[in-house]
Amino acid sequence: MTISRKDIEKVAVLARIQVDDAQVSALEKDLGNILDLVDQLSAADTESVEPLAHPLDAVQRLRPDEVTETDQRAEFQAIAPATENGLYLVPRVIE
């Protein structure tokens, strides 16, 4: 697959980047090589390959769901400037 100079200039405008003529020529060559590689990958036979959710077949180790800290709600609310019914009161910021 080839990419044209016009395509590169259009993408540059959409991306709001400035590309001069020398860069367009280099990008045309580099992007053409990338698209050729993608074509080669697309041509590979993947019929017998099972799709993967992740390349590593790792299982995430989970810690036990245990309470590790004591309830300090009363102590925290005692030092708060204002509380009501177990909630922290804060100044209104939106009218």
Angle formed by the axes of helices 21-42 and 5-14, nearest 10°? 100
User: Does any domain span residue 17?
Assistant: yes
User: Does any domain span residue 93?
Assistant: no
CB atoms within 10 A of CB 78: 9
**Which pLDDT does position 57 carry in this prediction?**
75
User: Does any domain span residue 37?
Assistant: yes
- Domain enclosing residue 19, as ranges: 5-42
User: Does any domain span residue 78?
Assistant: no
CB atoms within 10 A of CB 11: 14
**Which pLDDT does position 70 carry in this prediction?**
94
pLDDT per residue over 6-39, tens digit each? Answer: 999 999 999 999 999 889 989 999 999 999 999 9
**Which pLDDT does position 52 carry in this prediction?**
82
User: Does any domain span residue 26?
Assistant: yes
- C-beta of residue 88 within 8 angstroms of C-beta of residue 80: yes
Strand ranges in the chain using DSSP code E only, listed in sequence order: 83-84, 87-88
Give percent of the chain above pLDDT 70. Answer: 99
User: Does any domain span residue 36?
Assistant: yes
User: Does any domain span residue 29?
Assistant: yes
Number of domains within the chain: 1
User: Does any domain span residue 32?
Assistant: yes
